């Protein structure tokens, strides 16, 4: 008998055939990087970032009382905070009709210097007052008034212990 030799022919690679292993490996790296960044973003959004800055919201009556005043009637967007340090420092910001600002300052501080239009620090500050210590209080007061439209003013009230 004659022996027939068989020759093995390598399997031909057909054009257009995707090598899924290589393709998966190439896509896995960027996918894992994006997934990691999304996980870090979610963790950052849900972590407690409330580092104690010493600033907390307080009732506005408390902030104004520290400076020997009462909150103005008709004030809008009134927000008050206390900066805790060795001595407390209160800050209030509000909007008030421009025509009522001087009357509120005169009623709050009848013995005070009143608003002035010169030597005021800050951008766009058209009137200010610094007075202290306030009668009956151990605190001083600073006021800065800026225009907030034709009929409104924005007032920054700061009461602090010098």
Q: Tell me: the pLDDT tens digits for 21-56?
A: 777 878 788 888 889 999 888 887 777 665 556 788
Please tell me the predicted confidence (pLDDT) of residue 119. 81
- Whole-model pTM: value is 0.64
Checking if the pLDDT of 157 tops 90, the result is yes
Is the pLDDT reported for residue 8 higher than 60?
yes
What is the tens place of the pLDDT at every residue in 58-76?
A: 999 999 999 888 999 888 9
The DSSP symbol for 12 reads: P
Instruction: Give the confidence band of 9 by pLDDT, cuts at 50, 70, 90.
Output: low
- Greater pLDDT, 6 or 131: 131
What gap in Å lies between CA 109 and CA 139, rounded to an integer? 13
Tokens 């870090």 belong to which residue? 40
Mean of pLDDT values over 12-17: 60
Spatial neighbors of 132 by CB under 8 A, at least 6 apart, are 139, 140, 141, 162
* Res 109: pLDDT: 87
Torsion of CA 66, 69, 75, 76, to 10 degrees: -10
User: Distance between CA 46 and CA 43 in Å, rounded?
Assistant: 5
| Beta strand ranges found along 12-139 (DSSP E) | 55-57, 76-83, 89-97, 125-131
Q: Specify the pLDDT at position 6.
A: 63
pLDDT tens digits for 75-115? 899 999 998 777 889 999 999 998 899 999 999 988 888 88
- Quote the pLDDT of residue 162: 78
pLDDT at 1 over 60: no
């Amino acid at each position: 008998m004659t022996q027939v030799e068989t020759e093995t022919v390598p399997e031909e690679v057909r054009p257009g055939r995707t090598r899924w292993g290589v393709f998966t490996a190439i896509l896995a790296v960027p996918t894992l990087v994006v997934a990691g960044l999304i996980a870090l973003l979610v963790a950052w959004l849900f972590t407690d970032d409330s580092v104690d800055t010493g600033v907390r919201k307080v009732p506005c009556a408390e902030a104004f009382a520290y400076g020997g005043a009462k909150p103005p009637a008709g004030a809008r967007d009134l927000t008050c905070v206390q900066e805790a340090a060795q001595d407390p420092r209160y800050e209030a910001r509000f909007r008030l009709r421009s025509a009522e600002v001087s009357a509120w300052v005169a009623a709050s501080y009848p013995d005070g210097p009143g608003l002035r239009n010169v030597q005021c620090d800050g951008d766009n500050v058209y009137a200010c007052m610094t007075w202290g210590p306030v009668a009956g209080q151990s605190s001083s007061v600073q006021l800065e008034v800026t225009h907030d439209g034709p009929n409104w003013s924005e007032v920054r009230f700061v009461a602090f212990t010098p």
